[in-house]
């Protein structure tokens, strides 16, 4: 069954409007999203762009073909916060070794956290430290073109050399000056100039360069890695709202000035921020929640949550809107997911059922997940009324959106309970047939305390039967 591919439209921060998406090359649609700095557990705010752009990745793969989309999400493994963490956690090790321990451990943790959220692996996940040469080449090009200069051992980007600097964030250099919070450093030509390369002390990580042994500034990493994997101009660049300025603004400045191009990416997308239980998330308020906390502990709502529940809780709100993350929200997401999963009908892999057209249309409309969820609700209702096709379309749609078909163990899926529970269920059925309801209810209550829910029904012959399910 072939369905028409929906036309995508995406909101572009650069133009502040939603517009139809037209890739530069439909055979290779290219997207870059800023990834984590690996010095600590990723928090749930970090999870949002990961989930949002995974949804977009899935849509692009559906529309243009899985082999025609390249998605790059970097790993920032050189950063002063990492150095600080390395010194704190491994004071007895040589710095390089300590840094390696911190970044490897954090990266592994990040990848497993993110996997639990039902995300596909990006096509490439480059590390900053594997791209130092590319950064240096970019810096050299900027110096060559008079967009950067050396001062006091730093290489700085000359913001004044770019007339339309500030396009993305809609601010000009004067606005920034007015803030008076930008440190005025004597060696900078303009206060807004930012570091491309800085010298390292002996006890800091560094790489040899034409400008001395040093390390890259933060912004240059993404310019270098996106160019390496996607070319000087690509389709979509994503990240959190807070990255618009200065990070993305500076990426644009670097890439455009180094290449003499009119754009770095055609579409810039930014996800909104989230709060936790009505307050901004911060360590001092004690409501700092990591992805791992949610998956493994009872930090929010007193229980651990499946990754796909977190995924749904995140997607319930449009990606550009603010989210107030809460236990109640997770509960609602879990209930909703269970409803869909109960109604979905698994099909054989050969069936190739397409996701529901309304679901695709909604997602194609600037990732309107909530509208898609309305379509899923409608499918679930039809499936529960007995329309098999609706159940199959629901299953295909859930799969497309990155959800599994069952987050609980159920008798419908062929799950067999432990022997003593199976015995209890059989005993209860006997009691029911003997109309000993007190005994039957007692057994049911007992099982409920163990998290096993029973569902009675009558089969075609009018015989009492029982289904069961347990939370995974």
Of 154-173, binders to RNA (CB under 7 A) are 169-171
CA–CA gap between residue 115 and residue 103 (Å, rounded): 18
Of 249-268, binders to RNA (CB under 7 A) are none
Q: How far is the CB of 131 from RNA (least distance, A)?
A: 17
Q: How far is the CB of 65 from RNA (least distance, A)?
A: 27
- Whose Cβ is closer to RNA: residue 64's or residue 367's? 367
Q: How far is the CB of 272 from RNA (least distance, A)?
A: 6
| 335 touches RNA (CB under 7 A) | yes
Question: Within 10 Å of residue 470's Cβ, how many Cβ atoms?
Answer: 16
Contact with RNA (CB under 7 A) among 93, 199, 409, 453: 453
Q: How far is the CB of 194 from RNA (least distance, A)?
A: 8
Q: How far is the CB of 41 from RNA (least distance, A)?
A: 10
Contact with RNA (CB under 7 A) among 175, 185, 413, 430: 175
Contact with RNA (CB under 7 A) among 241, 405, 421, 470: 241
- Whose Cβ is closer to RNA: residue 28's or residue 173's? 173
Of 267-296, binders to RNA (CB under 7 A) are 271-275, 279-281
| 336 touches RNA (CB under 7 A) | yes
Contact with RNA (CB under 7 A) among 124, 127, 189, 320: 320
| 455 touches RNA (CB under 7 A) | yes
Q: 159 is written with which tokens? A: 């913001």
Q: How far is the CB of 447 from RNA (least distance, A)?
A: 11
- Whose Cβ is closer to RNA: residue 118's or residue 166's? 166
- Whose Cβ is closer to RNA: residue 213's or residue 320's? 320
Q: How far is the CB of 116 from RNA (least distance, A)?
A: 17
Query: If we measure between CA atoms, which residue out of 20, 50, 21 comes closest to residue 35?
Result: 50
Of 9-38, binders to RNA (CB under 7 A) are 16, 34, 36-37
Q: How far is the CB of 144 from RNA (least distance, A)?
A: 26
| 434 touches RNA (CB under 7 A) | no
Between 88 and 127, how does the x/- string for binding to RNA read (CB under 7 A)? ----------------------------------------
Q: How far is the CB of 331 from RNA (least distance, A)?
A: 8
- Whose Cβ is closer to RNA: residue 404's or residue 466's? 466
CA–CA gap between residue 211 and residue 140 (Å, rounded): 10
Contact with RNA (CB under 7 A) among 10, 14, 32, 48: 48
| 240 touches RNA (CB under 7 A) | yes
Q: How far is the CB of 173 from RNA (least distance, A)?
A: 10
Between 123 and 152, how does the x/- string for binding to RNA read (CB under 7 A)? ------------------------------
Which are the contacts of 52, defined by CB distance < 8 A and separation ≥ 6? 238, 271, 314, 315, 319, 367
Q: How far is the CB of 242 from RNA (least distance, A)?
A: 4
- Cβ pair 222, 32 in contact under 8 A: yes
Question: Within 10 Å of residue 281's Cβ, how many Cβ atoms?
Answer: 17
Q: Is the peptide bond before 19 cis (omega within 30 degrees of 0)?
A: no
Query: If we measure between CA atoms, which residue out of 267, 259, 257, 260 comes closest to residue 234?
Result: 267
Of 213-232, binders to RNA (CB under 7 A) are 218
| 49 touches RNA (CB under 7 A) | yes
- Whose Cβ is closer to RNA: residue 37's or residue 131's? 37
Full 3-state SS string of the chain: CCCCCCCCEEEECCCCEEEECCCCCCCCEEEEECCCECCCCCEHHHHHHHHHHHHHHHHHHHHHCHHHEEEEECEECCCHHHHHHHHHHCCCCCHHHHHHHHHHHHHHHHHHHHHHCCCCCCCECCEHHHCHHHHHHHHHHHHHCCCEEEECCEEEECHHHCCCCCCCCCCCHHHHHHHCCCCCCCCCCCCCCCEEEEECCCCCCCECCCCCCEEECHHHHHHHHHHHHHCCCEEEEEEEHHHHHHHHHHHHHHHHHHHCCCCCEEEEEEECCEEECCEECCCCCCCCCEHHHHHHCCCCCCCCCCHHHHHHHHHCCCCCCCEEECHHHHHHHHHHHHHHHHHCCCCCHHHCCCCCHHHHHHHHECCCHHHHHHHHHHHHHHHHCCCHHHHHHHHHHHHHHCCCCCCEEEHHHCCCCCHHHHHHHHHHHHHHHCCCHHHHHHHHHHHHHCCEEEEEEECCCCCEEEEEEEEC
Q: How far is the CB of 13 from RNA (least distance, A)?
A: 8
Contact with RNA (CB under 7 A) among 167, 368, 404, 407: 368
CA–CA gap between residue 183 and residue 191 (Å, rounded): 7
The residue range among 154-162, 294-302, 362-370, 419-427 that interacts with RNA, by the rule CB under 7 A, is 362-370
| 242 touches RNA (CB under 7 A) | yes
Of 376-405, binders to RNA (CB under 7 A) are 377, 380-381, 384-385
Q: How many residues lie near RNA (CB under 7 A)?
A: 77
| 432 touches RNA (CB under 7 A) | yes
């Amino acid at each position: 069954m072939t369905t028409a591919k929906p036309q995508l439209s995406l909101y572009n921060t650069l133009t502040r409007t939603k517009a139809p998406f037209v890739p530069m090359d439909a055979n290779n649609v290219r997207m870059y999203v800023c990834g984590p700095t690996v010095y600590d557990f990723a928090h749930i705010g970090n999870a949002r762009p990961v989930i949002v752009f995974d949804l977009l990745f899935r849509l692009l793969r559906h529309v243009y073909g899985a082999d025609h989309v390249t998605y790059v999400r970097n790993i920032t493994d050189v950063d002063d916060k990492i150095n600080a963490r390395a010194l704190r956690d491994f004071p007895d090790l040589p710095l390089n070794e300590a840094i390696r321990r911190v970044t490897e451990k954090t990266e592994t943790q990040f990848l497993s956290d993110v996997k639990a959220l039902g995300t596909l692996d990006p096509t490439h996940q480059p590390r900053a430290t594997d791209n130092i040469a590319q950064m240096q080449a970019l810096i050299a090009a900027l110096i060559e073109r008079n967009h950067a200069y050396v001062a006091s051992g730093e290489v700085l980007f000359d913001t004044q050399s770019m007339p339309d600097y500030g396009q993305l964030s809609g601010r000009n250099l004067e606005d920034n000056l007015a803030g008076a919070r930008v440190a005025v450093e004597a060696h900078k030509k303009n206060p807004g100039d930012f570091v491309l390369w800085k010298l390292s002390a002996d006890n800091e990580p560094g790489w040899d360069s034409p400008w001395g042994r040093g390390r890259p500034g933060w912004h240059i990493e993404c310019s270098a890695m996106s160019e390496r994997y996607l070319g000087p101009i690509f389709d979509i660049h994503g990240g959190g709202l807070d990255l618009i300025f200065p990070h993305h603004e500076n990426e644009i400045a670097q890439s455009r000035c180094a290449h003499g191009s009119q754009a770095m990416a055609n579409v810039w997308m930014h996800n909104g921020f989230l709060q936790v239980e009505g307050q901004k998330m911060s360590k001092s308020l004690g409501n700092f929640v990591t992805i791992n906390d949610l998956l493994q502990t009872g930090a929010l709502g007193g229980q651990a949550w499946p990754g796909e529940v977190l995924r749904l809780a995140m997607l319930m709100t449009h990606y550009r809107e603010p989210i107030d993350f809460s236990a109640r929200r997770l509960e609602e997401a879990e209930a909703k997911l269970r409803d869909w999963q109960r109604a979905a009908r698994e099909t054989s892999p050969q069936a190739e059922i397409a996701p529901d057209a309304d679901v695709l249309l909604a997602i194609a409309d600037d990732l309107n997940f909530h509208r898609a969820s309305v379509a899923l609700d409608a499918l679930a209702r039809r499936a529960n009324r007995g329309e098999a096709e609706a159940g199959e379309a629901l299953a295909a749609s859930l799969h497309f959106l990155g959800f599994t078909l069952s987050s609980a163990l159920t008798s419908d899926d062929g799950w067999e309970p432990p022997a003593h529970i199976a015995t209890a269920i059989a005993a209860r059925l006997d009691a029911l047939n003997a109309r000993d309801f007190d005994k039957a209810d007692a057994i049911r209550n007992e099982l409920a305390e163990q998290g096993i829910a029973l569902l009675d029904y009558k089969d075609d012959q009018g015989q009492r039967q029982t289904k069961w399910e347990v939370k995974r």
